[in-house]
Amino acid sequence: MYKRIKKTTLRSPLRDKRDPLGARPSRDWFDWATLATAGVGAVVVVTSTVLTQRESVLSGEQAAESLKTLNRQAEASQEQSKAASEMAEVTKKQLVQLTNQINEMRLQSNALSATANAANRQLNQADIHNRISVTPVVGFDRRASSGDEEVGIYIYNHGSGPAIIQDIKIYLDGSLLPNISDLEYVDTEMFLNETPRWNSIFESYTLQPGKELSIYHTPYQNVEDISNFRKLIWDRVDVIFKYCSLYNECGYSCSFDKTRRGDNEPAYFRPCSHRKTI
């Protein structure tokens, strides 16, 4: 048979002990609680200290790792600085070499420039000589003397090169004649057997050095009134023409005679760059 076990409620010794007044626990209970509290506080302090030390250790390890990283970076910077210094030294040497090369090239350029200038002066002198050697000198010649077999108006070239004559214009008493052939019929009563001859230039005519071109002429024996003929070719008929050299240097020549007619030059003579007093 089973026996019923009587339940007994366990009570803390502290709960049974009352102080003499019977209302509060005894002093032993407070000592036990104080001891327990002190123990817990000690555990907390120790735990906090351990954690603090652990954090300090971790911080120290991180600081050491950071220091190693900084050292590696410093070493890398030193290597880069050394490489940069070496490169700067090489660049400096290259710059010195380049400066020397530039100075040498400058000297060579100056020498070439001097040679080119000398050659250019020689070419200019040769060109001037060539131009002078073929420069035409043109002008007018009027003949009306008894010793002349032919009388009239002539264009001459006393230069050293040919003159390309073009654009001849004839003026009679200040008016432009449509054609040079119109002179044939001017004052025909002063001639005996025939009217004067003339040369017409349609586009251009090349007058060689030492040669002349008769513009308006007739035999002396054909002129009955030589006085009026002289007045005609000297005072009434004006001629202007354009001429060019082989280098295409062009000018105008005019037959105006200042010694006979003064400074009252007709306006149509203004283009003349070469005026010959005949």
pLDDT at 275: 44
> Is this model's pTM higher than 0.85 or not?
no
Structure tokens belonging to residue 116: 């080119």
Tell me the one-letter amino acid at 77: S
Q: How far apart are alpha carbons 255 and 237 in whole angstroms?
A: 9
Please name the residue that has the structure tokens 């001429």.
Answer: 243
DSSP string, the chain: -PPPPPP-----HHHH-B-TTSSSB-HHHHHHHHHHHHHHHHHHHHHHHHHHHHHHHHHHHHHHHHHHHHHHHHHHHHHHHHHHHHHHHHHHHHHHHHHHHHHHHHHHHHHHHHHHHHHHHHHHHHHHHHHHHT---EEEEEE--TT-SEEEEEEEE-SSS-EEEEEEEEEETTEE-S-GGGGGGSSGGGBSSSPPEE---SSEEEE-TT-EEEEEEEEGGGBS-HHHHHHIIIIIEEEEEEEE-TT--EEEEE---HHHHTT---GGGTT-SEE---
The model's pLDDT over 205-229, given as tens digits with 9 standing for 90+, comes to: 999 999 999 999 999 999 999 999 9
Q: Which of 211, 190, 186 is nearest to 198 (CA)?
A: 186
CB 196 within 8 A of CB 241: no
Q: How far apart are alpha carbons 173 and 226 in whole angstroms?
A: 19
Give pLDDT tens digits along the chain (278 positions): 555 555 555 555 544 445 555 555 555 555 666 777 777 777 777 677 767 777 776 777 887 888 888 888 888 888 888 888 888 888 888 889 888 988 988 888 898 888 888 888 887 777 787 788 899 999 999 999 988 999 999 999 999 999 999 989 999 998 999 988 888 889 999 999 999 998 877 788 999 999 999 999 999 999 999 999 999 999 999 999 999 999 999 999 988 776 666 666 777 777 775 444 33
